[in-house]
Amino acid sequence: MTQKEGYVAIRGARQHNLKDVSLDIPRDALVVFTGVSGSGKSSLAFGTLYAEAQRRYLESVSPYARRLFHQMPIPEVDQIDGLPPAVALQQQRGSGTTRSSVGSVTTLSNLLRMLYSRAGDYPKGQSILYAEAFSTNTPEGACPECHGLGKVYDVTEKSMVPDDTLTIRERAIAAWPTAWQGQNLRDILTTMGYDVDVPWKELSKKDRDWILFTKEQPQVPVYPGYDREEVQRAIKQKIEPSYMGTFTGAQRYVLHTFANTQSTLMKKRVSQYMLSSDCPSCHGKRLRRESLSVTFAGFDIADMSRLPLKQLLTIFKPYSDGSAPGLAKQATNHQEKVLVAQRIAEDLVARVTVLLELGLGYLSLERSTPTLSPGEHQRLRLAAQVRSNLFGVVYVLDEPSAGLHPADTEALLKALDGLKACGNSLFVVEHELDVIRHAEWIVDVGPDAGEGGGEILYSGPPEGLKNIERSKTRAHLFNDQPFIKPTPRQPFGWLTLKDVSRNNLTHLDVSFPLGVLTSVTGVSGSGKSSLVSQVLVELMSDFLGNTTPSEDQFEDALQQDTVATLTGGITDGAEHIKRMVVVNQKPIGRTPRSNLATYTGLFDVVRKLFAATELSKSRRYTAGRFSFNVGKGRCPNCEGEGFVMVELLFLPSVYAPCPVCSGTRYNAQTLEVTYHDKNIAQVLKMTVNEAADFFEKEDRVLRSLNVLQEVGLGYLRLGQPATELSGGEAQRIKLATELQRMSRGKTLYILDEPTTGLHPTDVEKLQLQLAKLVDAGNTVIVVEHDMQVVAGSDWVIDIGPGAGDEGGKIVTEGIPEAVAKNKESKTAVYLRRTFN
Ligand code: ADP
Ligand code: ADP
Ligand code: ZN
Ligand code: ZN
């Protein structure tokens, strides 16, 4: 083949499951890669094209700079010609831990600080402040009282001593450390003459205050196990003490630990004994008084950062086009200031407009990124690119429509068109049919997942796909079969919530039908997650008595600094629910130690099979031997991680395969044991599909594997580390884990966009699984944008009509056909199409 002008020519691509494929794809066009999950789309778009572009770029930079990049493995491909430099916009895998906000990711906060510094309204007599003075992260800006946290934390006697009938020995001071350190403090008090065996409330106020609140740290001799008299005698007789102990008051201990500990668990422990309130000096705005005294359009910078982006646009537009009232008058005295305001306002307006077009107008600059969905995060980064004025690059995107209502998808397509109009190429991995229809070129990979895929079924303009019989995408793209409505199911009761308020929901009354499948719909930012994933989940877990927050929830709270307020409650129907299962897109683990096989419980059974082999029995190996988490069986060098962490000076540390076990995680003796000629590491390397053949006679293993296949995960490897899974994959693993223990009934399942990452063919499989849950007597509530799922559900609750302040209400609810007829609902238009 010779290379065509204006095309990228790929020859002999063999990355992952790709079967030595060759194809030409056009530049300066929107190219969409389609195919069922696991067919090889990402292996081609990211693993081959993007990886090669990155490799070429990195060859041109110094080895030192190269280490700064998250390097992709070198792709298996013979040759690629005509490839422009590439920028990848992938969905974040795992959760980011860095503290950042919408303002910092988009760099809009920098602009705003410049604006306040140079063009803000200063009170009479106040000198001009530098831009840094408007940042909560600098000493020039941070409120000195709360150090820029916006909150002050304090403790009271009641918060640290919850039960004052206990003695100090009985741990009256609950806030104190436990174990040795707690005993040490008690022994110190004994030496100092305090009675640690009377109820706390019988101690004098003076003593109680000193023990809790003193800032002094006296050093005293400690005689563990002695009582007060014995200690006094020992001191008189000059008996050598065990050691000298240093006292720390409870308040000091709690506040110091909270501020300084690196351990989330410790922070969590001490925070139980603290009370937090808005800082009295800055009222939660985190900045110095002087900084807050500067305003623009009547807002201080903190209030401005709390406004939805949509409103920022309304505020800045008049400054960018010169129509703001009073501008002319001001221009005569402060011409420079007016010019600066106009220049910065123009830039702000341009950037915010892009964010609005991408359907993110409901976000505020202050919103912290850990509270954003992966789809929102990807679109924020996309917006930054649209404004970057780059040209001649190829953008490689991973399912940009994730989390988008069909109405928002139209805006996304406009933004992509904008990037293309600037002279760029777009390679997009996508399942959403509206995006696929918008493509100028389709590369369909398949026909199936893993080994069954990896072929290029089609590469050309969309119409041509019509003729490709083996394509699974074809049937959905050119679907002319009528929609077959499943027989609607009747609810056996209603779960009623009254007067709930959270984020943009205010005094909302809502009822969810029990024993059926309900879809909650609405444009992004309308309040679906606030209602379902926040309010409903919190109220139900209260009702079910799961009062201890999970590690997840706790980390979220820490990252958000604030606990959102919730009013209202469940008034009826909760008694029909015995258990709640939330299947969300949060990672299933944060280290490579958890993986698909361990999470689903499948690995326990596999380990037993290995322990039952002749060799294991002769060597007395138990199932524990085959765990990479315990001492005997695992590789001693990497302690079963398979990877070793390499610390780099000044850089984030990276994982590299362990040189001793070559990443197998086990020691040589363990690997000598085989089951049907495979050792345990080889089993972990199998895909779910391969394992299903391998374990076809082992019912218990097979059952788990089959469920994983049914949710479209047959292409994943059993040992696939949790850290490599996308949010959608993590969610489907949780779903599969639930499905295998299913069918007790009376369970409420809550799913947040379960179709993320799924080809329409896989969506059908998912629908069957959801139906199974309902048929077993359970209630299923999904937040969903996929109209196929919405149309197939028993009940629809449409939230909106718009996003943020313009949403938060129930626009309409009912059976799908009824909702489709509603005039106000933005969902109705798209739902109607499904029925035609
Ligand atoms: P898609 O993007 O179409 O969902 P992928 O390209 O991610 O599919 O996967 C195609 C095949 O390659 C699957 O069988 C998958 O398990 C395999 N695969 C993907 N990533 C890796 C990897 N890092 N190492 C080994 N195999 C992989
Ligand atoms: P949806 O799920 O429909 O996309 P959300 O419930 O996430 O919508 O958002 C509804 C509104 O509440 C939006 O204005 C959003 O910015 C706001 N919001 C959502 N979560 C938070 C949060 N953790 N903190 C502050 N505001 C939030
Ligand atoms: Zn403050
Ligand atoms: Zn090792």
- Write the residue with the smallest CA distance to atom 27 of ligand 1: 16
Q: Which atom of ligand 2 is nearest to the CA of 376?
A: 4
> How many Å apart are CA 24 and CA 83, to the nearest integer?
11
- Write the residue with the smallest CA distance to atom 25 of ligand 1: 16
Q: Which atom of ligand 2 is nearest to the CA of 364?
A: 16
Ligand nearest to the CA of 142: 3
pLDDT score of 408:
86
Ligand nearest to the CA of 805: 2
d(CA 543, ligand 2 centre) in Å: 24
Which of 102-106, 448-452, 678-682, 795-799 is the least confident region? 448-452
Element (H, E) at 396: strand 394-398
Ligand nearest to the CA of 565: 2
pLDDT score of 5:
87
Using CB atoms within 10 Å of the CB of residue 501, give its burial: 0 to 12 exposed, 13 to 18 middle, 19+ buried: middle
Q: Is residue 804 within 6 Å of ligand 2 at its C-beta?
A: yes
> How many Å apart are CA 669 and CA 178, to the nearest integer?
41
Mutate to test the pocket of ligand 1, among 43, 91, 643, 655 (most ligand atoms within 8 A of CB): 43
d(CA 430, ligand 1 centre) in Å: 15
- Write the residue with the smallest CA distance to atom 18 of ligand 1: 16
Neighbours of ion ligand 4 (CB under 5 A): 635, 637-638, 658, 660-661
**Which ipTM score applies to this complex?**
0.92
Which residues are registered as beta bridge partners of 579? 747
Which of 213-227, 678-692, 700-714, 716-730 is the least confident region? 716-730
pTM for this entry: 0.80
Q: Is residue 361 within 6 Å of ligand 2 at its C-beta?
A: no
Residue 792 has pLDDT above 50, yes or no: yes
Q: What does the buried/exposed string (b/e) look like for 456-476 if buried means 16 or more CB atoms within 10 Å of the residue's CB? A: bbbbbebeebeebeebbbbeb
- Write the residue with the smallest CA distance to atom 23 of ligand 1: 16
Average of per-residue pLDDT values in the chain: 88
Ligand nearest to the CA of 153: 3
As a whole-number percent, the residues of the chain with pLDDT over 90 amount to 60
- Write the residue with the smallest CA distance to atom 1 of ligand 2: 525
Comparing 260 with 775, the larger pLDDT belongs to 775
Residue range 762-783: mean pLDDT, rounded: 91
Using CB atoms within 10 Å of the CB of residue 640, give its burial: 0 to 12 exposed, 13 to 18 middle, 19+ buried: buried
Structure confidence by residue, pLDDT tens digits, 193-222 = 999 999 999 999 999 999 999 999 999 999
> How many Å apart are CA 431 and CA 548, to the nearest integer?
38
Residue range 295-321: mean pLDDT, rounded: 96
Q: Is residue 526 within 6 Å of ligand 2 at its C-beta?
A: yes
pLDDT score of 154:
84
Q: Indicate the pLDDT class of residue 565, thresholds 50, 70 and 90.
A: low
Residue range 137-149: mean pLDDT, rounded: 90
Residue 650 has pLDDT above 80, yes or no: no
pLDDT score of 564:
57
d(CA 688, ligand 1 centre) in Å: 12
Residue 358 has pLDDT above 90, yes or no: no
Which of 9-13, 40-44, 377-381 is the least confident region? 377-381
Structure confidence by residue, pLDDT tens digits, 568-581 = 899 999 999 999 98
Q: Is residue 368 within 6 Å of ligand 2 at its C-beta?
A: no
Q: How many CB atoms lie within 10 A of CB 603?
A: 24
Residue 426 has pLDDT above 50, yes or no: yes
Q: Is residue 530 within 6 Å of ligand 2 at its C-beta?
A: yes
- Write the residue with the smallest CA distance to atom 1 of ligand 1: 38
> How many Å apart are CA 478 and CA 262, to the nearest integer?
55
d(CA 358, ligand 2 centre) in Å: 16
Q: Indicate the pLDDT class of residue 443, thresholds 50, 70 and 90.
A: very high
Q: Which two tokens stand for residue 13?
A: 């691509």
| Dihedral, 112, 117, 119, 123 alpha carbons, nearest 10 | 120
Q: Is residue 528 within 6 Å of ligand 1 at its C-beta?
A: no
> Residues 543-550: contacts with CB within 8 Å, 24+ apart?
543/570, 543/574, 543/577, 544/577, 544/578, 544/579, 544/580, 546/580
Residues 6 or more apart from 743 whose CB is under 8 A from it?
Answer: 776, 777
pLDDT score of 324:
84
Q: Is residue 526 within 6 Å of ligand 1 at its C-beta?
A: no
Q: Is residue 801 within 6 Å of ligand 2 at its C-beta?
A: no
**Could you tell me which of 588, 547, 522, 543 has the C-alpha nearest to residue 787?**
522
- Write the residue with the smallest CA distance to atom 10 of ligand 1: 40
d(CA 657, ligand 4 centre) in Å: 8
Q: Is residue 43 within 6 Å of ligand 1 at its C-beta?
A: yes
As a whole-number percent, the residues of the chain with pLDDT over 70 amount to 92
Comparing 593 with 689, the larger pLDDT belongs to 689
d(CA 283, ligand 1 centre) in Å: 50
d(CA 235, ligand 1 centre) in Å: 72
d(CA 628, ligand 4 centre) in Å: 10
Q: Is residue 503 within 6 Å of ligand 1 at its C-beta?
A: no
DSSP per-residue codes, 399-459: -TTTT--HHHHHHHHHHHHHHHHTT-EEEEE---HHHHHH-SEEEEEESSSGGG--EEEEE
Comparing 633 with 592, the larger pLDDT belongs to 633
Structure confidence by residue, pLDDT tens digits, 255-297 = 888 888 777 778 778 888 988 888 999 999 999 999 999 999 9
Q: Is residue 172 within 6 Å of ligand 2 at its C-beta?
A: no
d(CA 655, ligand 4 centre) in Å: 12
d(CA 638, ligand 4 centre) in Å: 4
**Could you tell me which of 552, 555, 653 has the C-alpha nearest to residue 264?**
555
d(CA 43, ligand 1 centre) in Å: 6
- Write the residue with the smallest CA distance to atom 22 of ligand 2: 371
d(CA 600, ligand 4 centre) in Å: 24
Q: What does the buried/exposed string (b/e) look like for 705-731 if buried means 16 or more CB atoms within 10 Å of the residue's CB? A: bebbbbbbbbbbbbbbbbbebbbbbbb
Using CB atoms within 10 Å of the CB of residue 814, give its burial: 0 to 12 exposed, 13 to 18 middle, 19+ buried: middle
Q: Which two tokens stand for residue 441?
A: 């070129």
Judged by DSSP in three states, 219 sits in strand
Q: Is residue 363 within 6 Å of ligand 2 at its C-beta?
A: yes
pLDDT score of 561:
43
Identify the top-confidence range among 6-20, 329-343, 582-596. Answer: 6-20
d(CA 136, ligand 3 centre) in Å: 10
Q: Is residue 522 within 6 Å of ligand 2 at its C-beta?
A: yes
- Write the residue with the smallest CA distance to atom 27 of ligand 2: 503
Q: Which two tokens stand for residue 148?
A: 């820029």
- Write the residue with the smallest CA distance to atom 8 of ligand 1: 38
d(CA 133, ligand 3 centre) in Å: 14
Mutate to test the pocket of ligand 2, among 369, 503, 563 (most ligand atoms within 8 A of CB): 503
Comparing 724 with 571, the larger pLDDT belongs to 571
d(CA 368, ligand 2 centre) in Å: 11
Structure confidence by residue, pLDDT tens digits, 481-511 = 666 777 889 999 999 999 999 989 999 999 9
- Write the residue with the smallest CA distance to atom 21 of ligand 2: 503
